[in-house]
């Protein structure tokens, strides 16, 4: 029976063509998808185009060596793991590469059984770590991303938007009159409202592009990357109208939306705090304007 190739993609980086060819053959025989690069610079360009789960890189290469590539990956592709391969004459030790951020270390020449064992262990650990991270960043009631996830992803998205020169918007949503609704109808009914709002966010936002969060209580947020002001506003207007159509007694939404363009005159951390504060202020402006509306503050 023909075995299926795993969805996992592994990037081989080595300046010797014969090494690249032999390692690619070994990895193909293990039924992983494989791509190859001759040095760190070429690998960096590939990573911009292709999502790679794991990079197996030589340490000594022209243009950009393995440790430089590792540093680049940690800064720009932190969902990608790295195994460093070294020859007997190389000076880097296991401790050096692990301290630098690699998940493992393998000596050259690389033998098939050892490579298979290290890849299998690395990918298994990767999956377990991702599952634990997902659990720790998931809101138990709505299954949306939680506040912890927001604090982590928001700063990363602001940085990425600045680096790749695209627009990013943050919307903060609050359910109007939610406390009164809870007091009148009970907390179970209140929970049903929050679950329904989470479903509305999922339907109204772009799959695998926008990110939805429950920040706590009845406060939610949406990150909208690679959208212009009109598109971002249309998304949150759809959310507002869809919620109104549910006809929850006395409940509406107040939404504030702001652009998130990094101001390089201040630290990224401080700028992100300012962006969130601006979004909160816009949301409270919506409440003070009679509720059930969107206030858009686009910083020029």
Does residue 12 sit in helix, strand or coil?
strand
Give residue 90's pLDDT band: very low, low, confident or very high (50, 70, 90): low
What is the arithmetic mean of pLDDT over 33-60? 95
Q: Decide if pLDDT at 2 tops 70.
A: no
Residues 125 and 158 in one domain: no
Residues 122 and 188 in one domain: no
Question: Which residue, among 128, 150, 129, has the nearest Cα to 139 in the 3D structure?
Answer: 150
Give residue 1's pLDDT band: very low, low, confident or very high (50, 70, 90): very low
65-68 own/partner pairs: CB under 8 Å, 24+ apart = 65/40, 66/13, 66/40, 67/92, 67/97, 67/100, 68/40
Q: Decide if pLDDT at 242 tops 80.
A: yes
Residues 91 and 171 in one domain: no
Give residue 44's pLDDT band: very low, low, confident or very high (50, 70, 90): very high
| pLDDT tens-place string over residues 145-174 | 999 999 999 999 999 999 899 999 999 999
DSSP label at residue 180: H
Residues 127 and 178 in one domain: no
DSSP label at residue 20: H
Q: Regarding predicted confidence, which is higher, 94 or 225?
A: 225
pLDDT at site 187 = 94
Question: Which residue, among 121, 147, 144, 278, has the nearest Cα to 215 in the 3D structure?
Answer: 147
| pLDDT tens-place string over residues 101-145 | 999 999 888 988 999 999 989 888 888 887 777 778 899 999 999
Q: Locate 263 and state its tokens.
A: 């101001």
pLDDT at site 17 = 95
pLDDT at site 300 = 47
What is the arithmetic mean of pLDDT over 223-245? 95
pLDDT, mean over the chain: 91
DSSP string, 151-176: HHHHHHHHHHHHHHT--EEEEEEEEE
Q: Regarding predicted confidence, which is higher, 11 or 30?
A: 11
Residues 194 and 116 in one domain: no
pLDDT at site 225 = 96
What is the arithmetic mean of pLDDT over 220-231? 95
Q: Are the C-beta atoms of residues 69 and 56 closer than 8 Å to each other?
A: no
pLDDT at site 299 = 63
DSSP label at residue 62: S
pLDDT at site 133 = 74
Give residue 79's pLDDT band: very low, low, confident or very high (50, 70, 90): confident
Q: Are the C-beta atoms of residues 69 and 46 closer than 8 Å to each other?
A: no
pLDDT at site 238 = 96
pLDDT at site 135 = 76
| pLDDT tens-place string over residues 249-280 | 999 999 999 999 999 999 999 999 999 999 99
Q: Decide if pLDDT at 4 tops 50.
A: no
Q: What is the CATH number of the domain that holds 260?
A: 3.30.70.270
In the structure, how many helices (H) and strands (E) does the chain have? 10, 10
Residue at 157 is within a domain: yes
Q: Locate 92 and state its tokens.
A: 């880097």
What domain range is 152 assigned to? Answer: 147-297
Of 136, 155, 173, which residue constitutes the final position of a domain?
A: 136
Residues 125 and 229 in one domain: no
Q: What is the CATH number of the domain that holds 123?
A: 3.40.50.2300
pLDDT at site 136 = 82
Q: In what order do the strands lie in the sheet with 219-225?
A: 211-216, 219-225, 168-176, 252-259, 293-297
Cα dist from 163 to 132, 186, 261, whole Å? 29, 47, 11
pLDDT at site 6 = 59
Sort strands 252-259 and 81-86 into parallel, antiparallel or unpaired: unpaired
Question: Total domain count for the chain?
Answer: 2
Residues 151 and 293 in one domain: yes
Residues 15 and 104 in one domain: yes
pLDDT at site 298 = 78
């Amino acid at each position: 029976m023909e075995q299926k190739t795993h969805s996992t993609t592994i990037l081989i980086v080595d300046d010797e063509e014969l090494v690249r060819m032999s390692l690619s053959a070994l990895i193909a025989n293990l039924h992983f998808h494989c791509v190859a690069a001759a040095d760190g610079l070429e690998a960096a360009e590939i990573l911009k185009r292709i999502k790679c789960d794991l990079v197996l890189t030589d340490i000594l290469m022209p243009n950009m060596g393995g440790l430089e590539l590792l540093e680049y990956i940690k800064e720009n592709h932190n969902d990608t793991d790295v195994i460093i391969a070294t020859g007997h004459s190389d000076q880097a030790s296991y401790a050096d590469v692990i301290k630098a951020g690699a998940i493992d270390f393998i000596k050259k020449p690389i033998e098939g059984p050892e490579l298979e064992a290290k890849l299998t262990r690395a990918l298994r650990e990767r999956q377990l770590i991702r599952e634990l991270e997902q659990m720790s960043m998931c809101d138990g009631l709505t299954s949306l991303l939680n506040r912890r996830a927001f604090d982590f992803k928001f700063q990363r998205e602001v940085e990425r938007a600045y680096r790749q020169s695209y627009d990013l918007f943050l919307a903060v949503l609050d359910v109007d009159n939610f406390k009164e609704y809870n007091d009148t109808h009970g907390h179970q009914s209140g929970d049903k409202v929050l679950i329904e709002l989470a479903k509305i966010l999922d339907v109204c936002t772009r799959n695998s592009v926008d990110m939805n969060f429950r920040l706590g209580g009845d406060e939610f947020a949406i990150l909208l990357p690679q959208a212009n002001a009109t598109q971002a506003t249309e998304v949150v207007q759809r959310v507002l109208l869809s919620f109104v159509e549910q006809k929850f007694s006395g409940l509406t939404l107040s939404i504030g939306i702001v652009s998130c363009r990094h101001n390089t005159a201040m630290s990224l951390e401080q700028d992100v705090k300012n962006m969130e504060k601006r979004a909160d202020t816009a949301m409270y402006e919506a409440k003070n304007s009679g509720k059930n509306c969107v206030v858009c503050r686009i910083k020029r």
